[in-house]
């Protein structure tokens, strides 16, 4: 009887602990979508993605350069249905950063919906985001 009582008390607590831990890691973790390759020593991460409407996402990415010398941040629109992307904003900062420390520069006025080039970092990004959602 006591064993059964302990299971009923501790199971919900254990479940709650697992849930809180999992949510904490998912909020803090950046998803790497492209590792360094020959000729491109940058490491690419998705920092944030949000569903704008069916099949269209707003994504914040980072590229940490060789030797962690700099970090490029880019905010894009991704259309999974048409397999196109639109660059909204971006910036570059010295060193390795987890998130931008200053506002991104608006590039949306000079940008347009762009087709993918197979094997490019944008191709990998779109494939990653669209397969994840």
Between the alpha carbon of residue 71 and those of residues 79, 90, 93, 119, the distances in Å are 25, 11, 5, 21
Question: What is the average pLDDT value for the chain, to the nearest integer?
Answer: 81
Q: Where are the domains of the chain?
A: 30-132
Q: Which residue has the higher pLDDT, 120 or 34?
A: 120
Tell me the three state secondary structure of residue 41: coil
Q: Is the pLDDT of residue 27 over 60?
A: no
Whether pTM > 0.95 for this model: the answer is: no
CB 124 within 8 A of CB 33: yes
CB 102 within 8 A of CB 90: no
Q: Is the pLDDT of residue 33 over 90?
A: no
Per-residue model confidence (pLDDT) at position 41: 81
């Amino acid at each position: 009887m006591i064993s059964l009582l302990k299971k009923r008390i501790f199971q919900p607590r254990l479940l709650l602990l697992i849930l809180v831990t999992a949510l904490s890691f998912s909020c803090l973790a950046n998803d790497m979508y492209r590792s360094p390759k020959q000729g491109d020593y940058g490491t690419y991460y998705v920092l944030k993605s949000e569903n704008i409407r069916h099949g269209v996402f707003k994504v914040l990415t980072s590229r940490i350069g060789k030797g962690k010398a700099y970090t490029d941040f880019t905010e894009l629109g991704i259309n999974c249905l048409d397999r196109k992307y639109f660059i909204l904003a971006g910036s570059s900062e010295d060193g390795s950063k987890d998130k931008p420390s200053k506002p991104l520069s608006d590039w949306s006025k000079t940008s347009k919906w762009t087709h993918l080039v197979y094997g490019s970092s944008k191709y990998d990004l779109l494939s990653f985001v669209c397969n994840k959602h």
